[in-house]
Amino acid sequence: MFRIKICGITGVEDARMVARTGTDAVGLNFYPKSPRFLTLDSARKIVSALPDGVVKVGLFVNAEVDDLTSTVDLLGLDLIQLHGDEPPEFLVALGDRPVMRAFRLGQDGLRPITEYLRRCRFLDCMPRMVLIDSHVAGAYGGTGVVTDWPALVGYPTDEDFPPLVLAGGLTAANVAESIRTVHPAAVDTASGVESSPGQKDRARVEAFVLAAQRAFGDL
């Protein structure tokens, strides 16, 4: 669905700037405890400012199904990013709305992730994409901690598993190396292109997008 995603957009100007850099997708954060949290009204303004073709992703953490689906449908979001502890059955409750399931890579490596996905296959609710982030106790992403790239080399690449989106501490300085190492379908960053939480830095965004585009082109 996308190759380069900038997450945690908090304002209209940042949304327009990020879209102009060639970013494929933007993330809107609806987790109340995040410094990048958006109200529904703010999100509506951002969505209205984005050009056609930019994938609009709503990030949710342990939200109620009705609240989540109401937000997604009202804003016309293209993809739901589940970044909490939602079980496979939660995906069933979302119906046919496209989902990107995020996981925090812990000491057990890929095993819990592949087990989760097998359960999804059994329930016929396989997510469209899988995002893998770094594991930081008490946090649900956006920490800036680099994910254990070598541990992801064994992620299944057959068509039975969703495409892998790599996140966790990615910046313009390391995104090309991460793509060469992991061979993900896409990359995602938030803090790695910010001057402060929620405030995107144009130069950092442009450098990140250019580095990622070149690395994907070399694969």
Query: For 21-41, how does the pLDDT look when each residue is reduced to its tens digit (9 = 90+)?
Result: 999 999 999 999 999 999 999
Long-range CB contacts (within 8 A, 24+) of 22-26: 22/209, 22/213, 23/54, 23/205, 23/209, 24/54, 24/55, 24/186, 25/1, 25/54, 25/55, 25/56, 25/57, 25/79, 25/186, 26/50, 26/54, 26/55, 26/56, 26/57
Q: Which of 124, 133, 158, 201 is catalytic?
A: 133
**Whole-structure pTM value:** 0.94
If one counts the domains in the chain, the total is 1
Q: How far apart are the first and last CA of the chain?
A: 18
Any catalytic annotation for residue 41?
no
Q: The tokens of 206 are what?
A: 């442009």
Structure confidence at residue 180 (pLDDT): 96
Residue 211, domain extent: 4-218
In the residue annotation, 125 being an active-site residue is answered as: no
> Residue 157: its pLDDT value, please?
75
The CA distance from 129 to 86, in Å, is 15
- Per-residue pLDDT tens over the stretch 122-131: 999 999 999 9
* Residue 93 exposed, middle or buried by CB count within 10 Å (0-12, 13-18, 19+): middle
Q: Spell out the alpha helix ranges (H) of 102-147.
A: 111-123
Question: Are β-strands 199-200 and 194-196 bridged in parallel, bridged antiparallel, or unpaired?
Answer: antiparallel
Q: What is the CATH number of the domain that holds 9?
A: 3.20.20.70
pLDDT of residue 92: 97
Give the pLDDT confidence score for residue 159 in this predicted structure: 75
CA distance 121 to 125: 6
pLDDT beneath 70, residues of the chain: 135-144
Instruction: Determine the Cα–Cα distance for residues 44 and 49; give it in Å rounded to an integer.
Output: 9
Catalytic residue among 7, 24, 125, 188: 7
